[in-house]
Amino acid sequence: MDRRKFFRIASATGAGLAAGSLVGKPFAAAMPGWSGQQPAKPATNIEEALKIPRTKNSMPGLYPGKVVKIFNPDSVVNETPVESVAYDMLAQSMLLLTGASNLKKAWRQFVGPKEIIGLKVNPIGGTLLSTSHAVVKSVIKQMEEAGIPKKNIVIWDRRGLQLEEAGFNAQNYPGIKMLSTEYQENGSYYGADGKLLSEHRIDKDWYYWADCEQEYDDYTLPFMVNGGKYSYFSKVCTQEVDKIINIPIMKNAGAAVTLCLKNLGFGVITNTSRLHRDLWAETCAQVCAFPPIRDKVVLHIADGLIGCYDGGPGANPQFICQYNTILVGTDPVAVDRIGHEIIIGRRIAEGRQQSQQEAAPRGLAKLQLAQEYGLGVADIDKIQLIEN
């Protein structure tokens, strides 16, 4: 196993543990010297973010508490998502969400032809389990049909190498720009000046501060960009796009799920490894409350054509499954709450846990926090779920 693959697996495992993969006991119970008391949470700068006035585009967006769920058993054939079926599922979702009479009107509620639109994907699982090309290409096709020029569409994620490995490249997406925070040139993460190339891709005017830190070795640092107590936002979201469409995968992280909030919370900032143990749920919710995310993400499309119910957020073949589902909404908390029901339900069916209650204290923590920050609806009884 090369170090790059090891780092990916180790990072995913850490996220799963922090999310509470030790069913029935808190994460701290596995740590030496645990006394039965939960440690105090490290302080963060979330209060500063919450003081900044909201805008008309701020999450939970145009349709708070509303989620469209489309299931189609024909969406995956021979373990491959079918683009034509994904297109129809997405079209149906957009019309049901917006109530618009046609797709152009539906999409124009969120994006315009003069705006730069960033599609935030999740490529961490490589060709095995990443945001599907069937869904991403359907999004691009429908936006083009709505008058959004291809040159104004950007596919992006934190790690450029993972984008390439998952097939997000010029060959598969001609005319679409690929952007990332962490990237290489000529096989190196460092420029001629000896500094990380990624330092040019971070915006030091926007940061998530947390009173915890971790030392990184020479191999790990390029993936983290910086150490210390600051996690800087990517310039992609602060400067280079006007609107963001979030396209996560339906995956688990222990007895929690990693959909909308996690794809953003840990995907748009640097120096994240330090946050997994004590601030996993907080990071997922709090980073999304900062204006570069809160005010720009206008739509969430959770790709559940193929997902997983255990072993996430990495890709483990034995736990990959076909949900044959997409969830669409402007409210990331509500979308995550419905996704939680689907994934945890599958975990129970597969014997990975015994009940929904085992997941609730940890698995729902980030949703409850996000609701407190005004990002959406976590109470499932208050969510309007529309199914086909």
**pLDDT per residue over 343-375, tens digit each?**
999 999 999 888 776 655 666 889 999 999 999
Range of the domain at 258: 3-30+38-387
Cα angle 17, 20, 23 (rounded to 5 degrees) comes to: 115
Residue of 254, 248, 283 whose CA lies nearest to 359? 254
336-362 b/e (C-beta count within 10 Å ≥ 16 → b): bbbbbebbbebbbeeebbeebebbeeb
Q: How many domains does the chain have?
A: 1
Question: Is residue 202 within 8 Å of 235, Cβ to Cβ?
Answer: yes
What is the pTM assigned to this prediction?
A: 0.89
How far, CA to CA in Å, does 154 sit from each of 115, 201, 237? 11, 15, 11
Determine the pLDDT at residue 359. Answer: 59
Q: Burial level of 374, CB count in 10 A (0-12/13-18/19+)?
A: middle
User: In the chain, what percentage of residues exceed pLDDT 70?
Assistant: 88
Q: Which long-range contacts (CB under 8 A, 24 or more apart) does 28-37 make?
A: none
Q: Read off the pLDDT band of 7 (50, 70, 90).
A: very low
CA gap 222, 162 in Å, rounded: 13
- How far apart (Å, rounded) are the C-alpha atoms in residues 80 and 261? 26
Arithmetic mean of pLDDT, 93-102: 98
**Among the ranges given (147-151, 225-229, 361-365), the one the predictor scored with the smallest mean pLDDT:** 361-365
- Measure Cα distances from 259 to 65, 120, 386 in Å: 16, 12, 19
Q: Is the pLDDT of residue 29 over 90?
A: no
pLDDT at residue 352, as a whole number: 86
Instruction: Report residue 261's pLDDT band, with 50, 70 and 90 as the boundaries.
Output: very high
Looking at this protein, which amino acid is placed at residue 51? K
Q: Is 188 exposed, middle or buried, given 0-12, 13-18 or 19+ CB atoms closer than 10 A?
A: exposed
pLDDT for residue 353: 85
Phi, psi of 69, deg, nearest 5: -120, 120
Residue positions counted in the chain: 388
Whether residue 35 is predicted with pLDDT greater than 70 in this model: the reply is: no
**Is residue 335 a contact partner of residue 67, using CB atoms and an 8 Å limit?**
yes
